[in-house]
Amino acid sequence: MQTILGASGQIGHELARSLKRDFTDAIRLVSRNPKKVNDTDRLHRANLLDAGETLQAVEGSDIVYLTAGLPMDTRLWVEQWPVIMKNVIDACAAHGARLVFFDNTYMYPQTAEPQTEDAQFRPNGEKGRVRAAIAEALLEAISQQRLTALICRAPEFYGPGKTQSITNSAIIEPLRHGEAARIFLRDDTLRSLIYTPDASRAMALLGNTSNAYGQTWHLPSDDHRPTYREFVQLAAEEFGVEPRYRVLRRWQLQLAGLFSARVRDAAELLPRYAVDNIFVSDKFKTRFADFRVTPFREGLAFMGNERLDSQSGAARD
């Protein structure tokens, strides 16, 4: 049994597909309102903030994937992430289940220095600090041999379906609707972005590789890092639209933050857009040399076809 905690997001959705395709039919999807991805999926309702419900959700699992996400709300992150991580660690330890934690890079320094698995944690704000704290809690539990686990870490997302990221919401979605993209701070810095289906495929592979545990892994992304100017041009070509965009300066984002909680909550991430973002996934690519990373053009082409399919469906309706 392989169980996905927080299965309703795009990463959990793609992970369920990858597990079914490559590894197992025994998949349990856990969330507050789970829905089947594959016909054989088993559904389990649970609130990961409740220790008892988390314990029940994990029972009988060989491998557990923590892919849960929270809204971009600093207060919720500070209050809820430590509780979720504690509940999941305790549940996996109690049932002897291996844990795969899907993590982000918010705790890393927001500088141009390359980010490897050995990068020191130097968060820039509360969300980064809480992500550092829960990663450290899991690493401590591993070192104390309370459970067997690994950390999968990914840079910013782009991708199909319900993918949530600044790149999707500020660049891809406007372009797909024929509108101007919005770029934060600069259009000439190199961006590390991971295609969400690649992230989930890689996580499924790591979870089913016994000697991958006890480590942190950077998930594989395309090393042909584009600037946002180049990314907009590439996306516009695949979507069949004009490559229109505007660069939002820091003062404009600060002004917008006065009226938008979402913009305020993204403020601690702004430094990463002012410099090159070099996320290094060589460790994974060396260990799993046969894994094919989706090139940017191919990923955006799929999303362009997804857009055309949705427009055709709307026309038929």
pLDDT of residue 127: 95
pLDDT level of residue 309 (50, 70, 90 thresholds): low
Distances in Å between the Cα of 134 and the Cα atoms of 54, 107, 144, 188, 308 are 17, 10, 15, 33, 40
- Average pLDDT of 73-95? 97
Mean of pLDDT values over 180-187: 95
What mean pLDDT value characterizes the chain? 93
Band of pLDDT at residue 314, cut at 50, 70 and 90? very low
Torsion sign across C-alpha atoms 152, 291, 294, 11: negative
Alpha helix locations (H) across 208-295?
Answer: 228-239, 250-257, 261-266, 282-287
Q: Give the pLDDT of residue 244.
A: 96
Q: Could you give the angle at the alpha carbon of 212 between the alpha carbons of 104 and 43, nearest 5°?
A: 65
| Residue 231: pLDDT over 70 | yes
Report the percentage of the chain scoring pLDDT > 90.
85
Query: Three-class SS of residue 243?
Result: coil
| DSSP-H helix ranges across 59-125 | 74-95
pTM of the prediction?
0.93
pLDDT tens-digit readout, 1-49: 999 999 999 999 999 999 999 999 999 999 999 999 999 999 999 999 9
Question: What token pair was written down for 209?
Answer: 């590789």
Q: Which residues contact 242 (CB under 8 A, 6 or more apart)?
A: 178, 236
Q: Is the pLDDT of residue 317 over 50?
A: no
- Domains belonging to the chain, first-starting first, are 2-158+194-218 (3.40.50.720), 166-191+224-308 (3.90.25.10)
The yes-or-no verdict on residue 189 having pLDDT over 60 is yes
